[in-house]
């Protein structure tokens, strides 16, 4: 096989901390996975993480390196930054191929296909690097008319106004287990650690252990990992943990949708953390069912200091509308189980759901104030393409700016007044903070959050 040309691939994470008041202070693992596989295929790759840079710095560096391909990984709140980068770089790099990927392009590829040359949907850590290798070996022509999308699952393009695409694949465990660990070499770990330590008292970074979620919550699109739940061998997991530790981090954020889903796997993970004496604490998401006092106690002994729970509502009727397949009572029990084990708890709540009532919203506010939570977070529904919620309200939606996801702002007609809802959220959070401040002065490591 001919060697890959020197002009390679630049991967961009378009989050600028200076432009966004909501800190997202974890290195972007999506492009870390892409970078590791590109290197394994001998494709030259550069990572541009915009978090601690300025817009002009990023433009200058990318334009100066003249990559053959620029891939931009786009989360839901980053579309504006991505399009601004694309517009500036197109002018300076007319011969470069621009590709979009990540959660938002996956759920709404048509939003990007008209401006980017190609979009990759779903898990791209196998197919996108292979696409890049083949494109570079072909001579880096921007003409993709001869390309067969079926060769690259998840590829989405437009040709002469017509969509050419192939459905994304969710790779089975035997493929994922052969992939290299995410390449964290392209990130400024010193700045990440300083920022996280200032916010939480801990040098925390993220990792992904399991992939996929078999549940079908009404509002959740699971855009990248899909329904298929997969878990890697623990030996590979602990190789990554040791690498993270060597970079100077003291705490893990296990960002899986369903890390606690398989009780046997979770038990084995915790036992291995204890056996190896890993000196790292960790936090994770969890469902509220399938939990026992023994499992919560084991998680505590293994270093877990905080668990994030999708409690969502204080009304079983609203949980039914959301298709959560759990009850309020299970959520209450989970909070108390973790609290009694000495693990901090955080709850996610959603109010203003289509079909719920003012009474159910007030039940949610009351639930927040009744629980021994360390942290609470409120959102309102944002209908993501591909979800049942979107199917119900899409014809009524009037937006194309995804930056509203951090605001109390409906993108479809709602019976709930935004000002009233925002006011009640603020009142509840003020009462929550006062209640939390009034509870004893003793602190645990979880209180650093």
Confidence of residue 221 (pLDDT cuts 50, 70, 90): confident
- Residue 448, pLDDT score: 39
Distances in Å between the Cα of 327 and the Cα atoms of 324, 343, 366 are 8, 21, 16
Same domain, residue pair 98 and 193: no
Same domain, residue pair 251 and 199: yes
Which CATH number goes with the domain that contains 277? 3.20.20.70
User: Is 442 a residue whose pLDDT tops 50?
Assistant: no
Same domain, residue pair 266 and 397: yes
Q: Is the dihedral angle over the CA atoms 116, 122, 128, 129 positive or is it negative?
A: positive
CA–CA distance, 83 with 102 (Å, rounded to integer): 14
Does the residue 232 lie in any domain?
A: yes
Same domain, residue pair 279 and 361: yes
Q: Contacts by 424-428 with C-beta closer than 8 Å and gap 24+?
A: 424/351, 424/361, 424/365, 425/351, 425/378, 428/365, 428/368, 428/369, 428/378
Does the residue 364 lie in any domain?
A: yes
Q: How many of the other CB atoms lie within 10 Å of CB of 225?
A: 20
**Mean pLDDT of the chain, nearest integer:** 89
Question: Which residues face 208 on adjacent strands?
Answer: none
User: For the ranges 49-58, 160-169, 307-316, which has the lowest average pLDDT?
Assistant: 160-169
- The whole-number average pLDDT for the span 165-194 is 89
Closest CA to 347 of 364, 326, 324, 325: 364
Does the residue 269 lie in any domain?
A: yes
- The whole-number average pLDDT for the span 179-184 is 94
Q: Is the dihedral angle over the CA atoms 328, 331, 336, 339 positive or is it negative?
A: negative
Q: In a 3-state reduction of DSSP, which class is residue 356?
A: coil
User: For the ranges 263-277, 322-336, 409-423, which has the lowest average pLDDT?
Assistant: 409-423
Does the residue 177 lie in any domain?
A: no
Which CATH number goes with the domain that contains 82? 3.40.50.280
User: Is 21 a residue whose pLDDT tops 60?
Assistant: no
Continuous H helices in 22-172: 29-40, 55-65, 79-92, 103-107, 110-113, 127-137
Instruction: Report pLDDT digits (tens) over 354-388.
Output: 999 999 999 999 999 999 999 999 999 988 877 88
Confidence of residue 251 (pLDDT cuts 50, 70, 90): very high
User: Is 410 a residue whose pLDDT tops 90?
Assistant: no
- Residue 171, pLDDT score: 81
- Residue 445, pLDDT score: 35
User: Is 352 a residue whose pLDDT tops 50?
Assistant: yes
Same domain, residue pair 153 and 222: no
- Residue 387, pLDDT score: 86
- The whole-number average pLDDT for the span 134-148 is 79
Same domain, residue pair 14 and 115: yes
- The whole-number average pLDDT for the span 434-442 is 67
Same domain, residue pair 113 and 148: yes
Instruction: Report pLDDT digits (tens) over 64-101.
Output: 999 999 999 998 888 999 999 999 999 999 999 999 99
User: Is 3 a residue whose pLDDT tops 90?
Assistant: no
- Residue 444, pLDDT score: 37
Confidence of residue 403 (pLDDT cuts 50, 70, 90): low
- Residue 399, pLDDT score: 54
Question: Which residues face 10 on adjacent strands?
Answer: 46, 70
- Residue 148, pLDDT score: 80
- Residue 209, pLDDT score: 95
Does the residue 274 lie in any domain?
A: yes
Q: Mind giving me the DSSP string for 160-228? A: TTEEEE-------HHHHTTSPPP--TTS-HHHHHHHHHHHHSS-EEEE--SB------TT---TTT-S-
Total residues belonging to the chain: 449
- Residue 396, pLDDT score: 64
Same domain, residue pair 251 and 385: yes
User: Is 170 a residue whose pLDDT tops 90?
Assistant: no
Does the residue 95 lie in any domain?
A: yes
Does the residue 174 lie in any domain?
A: no
Q: What's the structural domain count of the chain? A: 2
- Residue 405, pLDDT score: 54
Q: How many of the other CB atoms lie within 10 Å of CB of 443?
A: 8
- Residue 172, pLDDT score: 82
Closest CA to 158 of 111, 202, 201, 190: 111
Q: Is the dihedral angle over the CA atoms 305, 308, 309, 314 positive or is it negative?
A: positive
Does the residue 176 lie in any domain?
A: no
Range of the domain at 274: 188-448
Same domain, residue pair 15 and 143: yes
Same domain, residue pair 57 and 201: no
Closest CA to 411 of 224, 216, 219: 219
Question: Which residues face 98 on adjacent strands?
Answer: 70
Same domain, residue pair 278 and 386: yes
Confidence of residue 120 (pLDDT cuts 50, 70, 90): very high
Same domain, residue pair 320 and 394: yes
Confidence of residue 400 (pLDDT cuts 50, 70, 90): low
Exposure string (b/e) for 104-125, b if CB count within 10 Å is 16 or more? Answer: bbbbbbebbbeebbbbbbbbbb
- SS (HEC) of 268-281: HHHHHHHHHCCCCE
Contact predicate 380/349, CB 8 Å: no
């Amino acid at each position: 096989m001919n060697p890959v040309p020197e002009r390679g691939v630049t991967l961009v994470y378009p989050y600028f901390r200076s432009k966004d008041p909501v800190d997202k202070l974890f290195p972007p693992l999506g492009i870390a996975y892409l970078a590791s596989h590109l290197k394994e295929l001998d494709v030259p790759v550069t990572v541009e993480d915009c978090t601690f840079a300025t817009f002009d710095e990023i433009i200058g560096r990318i334009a100066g390196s003249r990559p053959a391909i620029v891939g931009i990984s786009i989360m839901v709140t980053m579309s504006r930054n991505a399009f601004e980068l694309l517009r500036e770089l197109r002018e300076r790099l007319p011969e470069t191929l621009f590709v979009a990927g990540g959660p938002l392009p996956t759920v709404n590829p048509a939003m990007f296909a008209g401006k980017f040359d190609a979009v990759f949907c779903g898990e791209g850590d196998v197919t996108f690097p292979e696409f890049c290798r083949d494109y570079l070996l072909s001579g880096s022509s921007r003409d993709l008319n001869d390309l067969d999308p079926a060769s690259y699952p998840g590829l989405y393009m437009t040709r002469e106004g017509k969509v050419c695409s192939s459905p994304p694949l969710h790779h089975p465990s035997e493929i994922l287990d052969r992939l290299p660990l995410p390449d964290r070499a392209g990130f400024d770990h010193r700045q990440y650690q300083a920022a996280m330590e200032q916010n939480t008292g801990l040098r925390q970074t993220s990792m992904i252990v399991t992939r996929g979620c078999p549940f079908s919550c009404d509002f959740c699109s699971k855009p990248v990992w899909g329904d298929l739940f997969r878990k890697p061998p623990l030996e590979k997991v602990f190789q990554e943990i040791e690498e993270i530790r060597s970079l100077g981090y003291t705490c893990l954020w296990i960002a899986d949708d369903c890390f606690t889903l398989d009780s046997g796997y979770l038990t084995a993970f915790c036992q291995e953390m204890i056996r190896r004496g890993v000196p790292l604490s960790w936090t994770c998401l969890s469902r509220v069912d399938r939990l026992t006092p023994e499992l919560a106690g084991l998680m505590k002994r293994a270093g877990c200091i905080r668990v994030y729970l999708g409690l969502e509502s204080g009304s079983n009727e609203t949980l039914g509308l959301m298709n959560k397949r759990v009850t309020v009572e299970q959520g209450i029990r989970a909070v108390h189980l973790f609290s009694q084990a000495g693990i901090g708890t955080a709850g996610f709540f959603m109010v203003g759901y289509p079909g719920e009532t003012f009474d159910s919203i007030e039940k949610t506010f009351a639930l927040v104030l009744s629980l021994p939570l360390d942290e609470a977070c409120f959102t309102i529904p944002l209908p993501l393409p591909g979800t049942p919620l979107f199917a119900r309200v899409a014809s009524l939606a009037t937006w194309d700016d995804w930056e509203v996801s951090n605001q109390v702002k409906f993108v479809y007609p709602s019976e709930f007044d935004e000002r009233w809802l925002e006011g009640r959220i603020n009142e509840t959070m003020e009462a929550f903070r006062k209640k939390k401040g009034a509870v004893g002065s003793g602190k645990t490591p979880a209180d650093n959050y």
